[in-house]
Amino acid sequence: MIEKLNELKKILSKIADLRYAANVLDWDQQVYMPDDGDEERGEQIATILEISHNLFVSDEVGKLLMDLQSESIDLDPNSNEARLVKVTQRNFNKETKIPVNLLVELSQTTTMAHNAWVKAKTNNDFNSFQPYLEKIIELTKQKAECFKPFENIYDPLLDDYEPGMLTSDVKTIFSEIRPQQVELIKSISKSKQIDDSFLKRKYDPSKQWQFGIDVARALGLDWKRSRLDTTEHPFTTTFGQKDVRITTNISETIPTSAFFSTVHETGHALYELGFSPALRRTPLSNAASMAFHESQSRMWENLIGRSRQFWLYFYPKFKSLFPEQLSNIDLESFYKAINKVEPSFIRTEADEATYNLHIMLRFELEVDLIEGRLKVEHLPDAWNEYMKDYMGIIPPNDTLGVLQDVHWSAGLIGYFPTYAVGNLISAQLWEKMHEDMADLDDKICNGDFVELLSWLHSNIHQHGAKFEPQELIQNITGNRIEAQPYIRYLQTKYKDIYQ
């Protein structure tokens, strides 16, 4: 068995290297590549993905997995070896169902679509992006059809990011939390509104940049294994366990945008950098799911980065960088301003009380597109209708509406629900962390994140993709993913802020 396992690992290592190489090309496209390089870049990435796909779905891998399945019965089911066989078999079963020519076409299309999306967003021109999105939706439907029979055609797309979760599960979760969040927002709307006008002044981008780097370092990000760059839409990408890169987007008149994006992506990077070295270059050197990934980024961004305790330590430094803008602004006024609840157009800048509504909107639209009830040409109007229904506001243009997110141009259909589920997981973990670390708030007040990061590494990061998401959250908290900890968190926080 050892010999066969080593042979499988050898092949998986080559596949991991190829996919990391594709990530390098994708990162360069979004950060440095000149505009006219998109067609050739699409061909390059598609070639690498075709090679890695063919290597993975080969008869050799299939035979090794078949033999290892029967020979690993006596292994500890939670051992790295047993889990590697289990996860690789699951991935093999999925990938063998998709024709390689479909994967190649989808890769080439999304690479071309990225620059088209950037230009469309910049020029408020949805029509120029529409043909690309129509093709992406059609190819994505074809991909989903490969997994028949299913309860819902959206299920296999969601499963790519959240293993085992169904469309019906997401609908159940959203039907539980939506009325409670809407009620919270209604209660807040009746309270005295918070002044955040000082956050709309001009803030030196270079100082914003340096402050973000300093905070990321304080949170535990190792700059010998990471770097920060700017891009149209912030993201994190991985080239290996010692090279995880983050990006941000800086606005001179919205200083919190770059900061919270940087902290959000730092949360992703800390997760990726925390995988056990024993899992390196295998399918286990990944997150348990994208919801777990988002639980880490959203936790650092919001539960920590928007907390009073966090800014008790960091506000003096932030204020010293911008004395003209913040000279008369005390800590409490600043804390309330960065947590102001107000329906807004942009998801990435939304407050915690309304954020999940942005996700529900996108989920509904994606399901409508994939199920065929909505055509891409009608998407901007549908977006505006949903915004009116969910938020009570209508975007003045498509740049602030349907064109704001990078996900659809990248073919990431099924990803959006993981943000909301990640919020739920983050609150469950937060309650458990406070049980295990009675002085957690005091440590945050002192800018000490060592024990907090150690807890995350021990309970979550090091395990990578060994455990399925429901299994992992139950191992940590004793419960499956549930909504009420997040609702309790929101109600407690905003009751304090809005009294």
Is residue 384 a contact partner of residue 131, using CB atoms and an 8 Å limit?
no
Q: Determine the 3-state secondary structure of 232 from DSSP.
A: coil
Give the pair of three-digit tokens for residue 47.
Answer: 């070639």
Q: Where are the domains of the chain?
A: 2-125, 167-498
**Average pLDDT for the chain:** 96
The pLDDT tens digits for 251-275 are 999 999 999 999 999 999 999 999 9
**Which of the four CATH numbers 1.10.760.10, 3.40.50.300, 1.10.1370.30, 2.60.40.1190 does domain 167-498 have?**
1.10.1370.30
Cα R_g (the chain), whole angstroms: 23
pLDDT at residue 300 above 80?
yes
Which positions are catalytic? Answer: 265
Residue 75: the pLDDT is 87
* Dihedral sign for Cα atoms in the order 472, 303, 286, 358: positive
State percent of the chain over pLDDT 70.
100
pLDDT at residue 209 above 90?
yes
Helix (H) or strand (E) holding 89: helix 80-95
Residue 371: the pLDDT is 97
Residue 71: the pLDDT is 81
Is residue 273 a contact partner of residue 246, using CB atoms and an 8 Å limit?
no
Q: How far apart are CA 365 and CA 138, in angstroms?
A: 15
Residue 210: the pLDDT is 97
- Please give the average per-residue pLDDT across 50-62, as a whole number: 96
Cα angle 36, 40, 46 (rounded to 5 degrees) comes to 135
- Please list, in sequence order, all residues whose beta carbon lies within 8 angstroms of the beta carbon of residue 174, skipping any fewer than 6 positions away: 356, 360, 363, 420
Closest Cα partner for 405 from 363, 434, 436?
A: 363
The pLDDT tens digits for 95-143 are 999 999 999 999 999 999 999 999 999 999 999 999 999 999 999 999 9
The pLDDT tens digits for 130-141 are 999 999 999 999
The pLDDT tens digits for 59-89 are 999 999 999 988 878 888 999 999 999 999 9
The pLDDT tens digits for 381-438 are 999 999 999 999 999 999 999 999 999 999 999 999 999 999 999 999 999 999 999 9
pLDDT at residue 182 above 80?
yes
The pLDDT-based confidence of 2 (bands split at 50, 70, 90) is confident
Residue 72: the pLDDT is 77
